[in-house]
């Protein structure tokens, strides 16, 4: 008996061992586990796979001496032996989930030495679902506020987040963890709102150690403000002109009102083109102050335009025609006289 124990100990000291490697896999994908028995030629009787669950090791899958694989519980049904020989056991785990994350033990039972084992880890990672949205915030807020929110849901490991902007800002973060080890992270972008930031594009950048590339998500900021109105001449003709009223507003101006001094201008003289309103005005309506008032949910803006009289001079083409005829006749006469003189000089 002592001799047998000595021989078994000698075999172990001589280097018989199991080698396994940690693996990482994206949730939903398949992964191959590799367990190798080295430095022995003894007969392999069985290969067992265990998972550490609830504080103890649990048998989940075995490979018999003939190479047949067998699941020992519901969890083990997704494992299968795909190797060609047992000393280099390749075991496939299909359709991984976060429940598969954890420590595993690969056990070789050989005769006569007994069992040899190695512990390895399967790391299951989840790429988070990322969304970014702009918070609708008014321009008249004088202190910094949340102008955009980026959310990375159910990521494992916990994702890191940052912002790329062209203006001064501050970031606040919060996160929650689920029982399956995944995390949801939310990043708030804070700045003092201004009209100049409206529709500015910002980037939310999400990183994970297991991701080959960063996740970049963009959004255009939504800063609301009352209309800023400008009025100018858009077109001039001989007997009329078109005055243009433009309102820079967010949201867009919903109502436009034109006034000529104290009188509201009739609606049939006004046409609308989105944020542009055109007013047709007759030329004799000069020397008056015109007002365009635009309104949205944030407030009202007013633009003014004073039209001075500028008489239009028409050219009397009827009076010009006789003058042109006289000039033409005189030109012909001068040309004939010049030609006659040259002929006389040539004969002399």
Residue range 189-234, pLDDT digits in tens: 999 999 999 999 999 999 998 878 899 999 999 999 999 999 888 8
pLDDT tens readout for residues 244-263: 888 999 999 988 888 877 67
Q: How confident is the model at residue 11 (pLDDT cuts 50, 70, 90)?
A: very low
Q: How confident is the model at residue 10 (pLDDT cuts 50, 70, 90)?
A: very low
From CA 86, how far away is CA 309, in angstroms rounded?
Answer: 103
Q: What percent of the chain has pLDDT over 70?
A: 84
Chain-centroid distance, C-alpha 64: 52
pLDDT tens readout for residues 85-142: 778 889 999 999 999 999 999 999 999 999 999 999 999 999 999 999 999 888 777 7
Average pLDDT over residues 14-20: 86
What pLDDT, on the 0 to 100 scale, is given for residue 261? 72
Does the pLDDT at position 80 exceed 60?
yes
What pLDDT, on the 0 to 100 scale, is given for residue 312? 47
What pLDDT, on the 0 to 100 scale, is given for residue 73? 93
What pLDDT, on the 0 to 100 scale, is given for residue 272? 67
Rg (CA), the chain: 44
Does the pLDDT at position 331 exceed 70?
yes
Q: Which residues pair with 312 in a beta bridge?
A: none
Does the pLDDT at position 269 exceed 70?
no
CB 160 within 8 A of CB 78: no
Q: What is the mean pLDDT of the chain?
A: 85
DSSP per position, 60-73: EEEEETTS-EEESS
Instruction: Kindly report which listed range (48-52, 250-254, 264-268) carries the lowest average pLDDT score.
Output: 264-268
Q: Give which of 49, 102, 46 is closest to 72, Cα–Cα.
A: 49
Segment holding 115, helix H or strand E: strand 114-125
Query: For the chain, which domains are there?
Result: 2-124 (2.60.40.10), 129-221 (2.60.40.10), 225-307 (2.60.40.10)
What pLDDT, on the 0 to 100 scale, is given for residue 268? 60
Chain-centroid distance, C-alpha 79: 39
CB 186 within 8 A of CB 150: yes
Q: How confident is the model at residue 6 (pLDDT cuts 50, 70, 90)?
A: very low
What pLDDT, on the 0 to 100 scale, is given for residue 233? 82
What pLDDT, on the 0 to 100 scale, is given for residue 236? 76
CB-based contacts of 9: which residues, under 8 Å, 6+ apart?
none
CB 102 within 8 A of CB 52: yes
From CA 105, how far away is CA 58, in angstroms rounded?
Answer: 9
What pLDDT, on the 0 to 100 scale, is given for residue 347? 61
Average pLDDT over residues 57-86: 91
Q: Is the dihedral of CA 138, 144, 149, 154 positive or negative?
A: negative
Q: How confident is the model at residue 13 (pLDDT cuts 50, 70, 90)?
A: very low
Instruction: Kindly report which listed range (5-14, 80-89, 176-185, 339-348) carries the lowest average pLDDT score.
Output: 5-14
Q: Is the dihedral of CA 335, 339, 340, 344 positive or negative?
A: positive
Average pLDDT over residues 298-326: 71
CB 183 within 8 A of CB 167: no
Question: How crowded is residue 327: how many other Cβ atoms within 10 Å of its Cβ?
Answer: 10
CA angle 280, 285, 287 (to 5 degrees): 125
């Amino acid at each position: 008996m002592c001799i047998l124990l000595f021989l078994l100990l000698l075999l172990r000291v001589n280097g018989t061992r199991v080698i396994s490697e940690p693996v990482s896999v994206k949730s939903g994908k398949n992964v191959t586990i590799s367990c190798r028995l080295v430095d022995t030629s003894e007969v392999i009787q069985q290969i067992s796979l265990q998972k550490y669950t609830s504080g103890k090791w649990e048998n989940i899958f075995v490979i018999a001496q003939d190479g047949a694989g067998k699941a020992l519980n519901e969890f083990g049904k997704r494992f299968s032996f795909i190797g060609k020989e047992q000393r280099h056991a390749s075991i496939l785990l299909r359709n991984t989930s976060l429940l598969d994350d954890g420590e595993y033990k690969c056990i070789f039972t050989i005769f006569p030495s007994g069992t040899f084992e190695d512990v390895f880890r399967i790391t299951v990672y989840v790429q988070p679902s990322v969304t970014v949205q702009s918070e609708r915030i008014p321009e008249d807020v004088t202190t910094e506020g949340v102008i955009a929110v980026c959310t990375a849901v159910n990521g494992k490991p916990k994702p890191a987040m940052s912002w790329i902007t062209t203006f001064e800002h501050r970031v606040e973060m919060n996160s929650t963890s689920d029982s399956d080890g995944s995390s949801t992270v939310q990043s708030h972008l804070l700045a003092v709102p201004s009209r100049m930031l409206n529709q500015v594009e910002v980037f939310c950048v999400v990183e994970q150690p297991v991701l080959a590339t960063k996740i970049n998500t963009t959004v255009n900021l939504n800063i609301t403000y009352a209309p800023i109105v400008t009025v100018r001449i858009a077109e001039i003709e001989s007997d009329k002109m078109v005055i243009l009223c433009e309102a820079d507003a967010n949201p867009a101006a919903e109502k436009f009102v034109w006034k000529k001094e104290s009188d509201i201008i009739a609606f049939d003289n006004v046409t609308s083109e989105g944020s542009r309103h055109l007013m047709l005005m007759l030329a004799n309506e000069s020397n008056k102050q015109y007002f365009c008032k635009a309104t949205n949910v944030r407030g009202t803006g007013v633009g003014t335009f004073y039209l001075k009289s500028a008489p239009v001079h028409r050219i009397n083409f009827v009076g010009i025609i006789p003058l042109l005829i006289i000039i033409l006749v005189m030109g012909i006469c001068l040309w004939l006289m010049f030609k006659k003189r040259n002929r006389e000089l040539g004969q002399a």
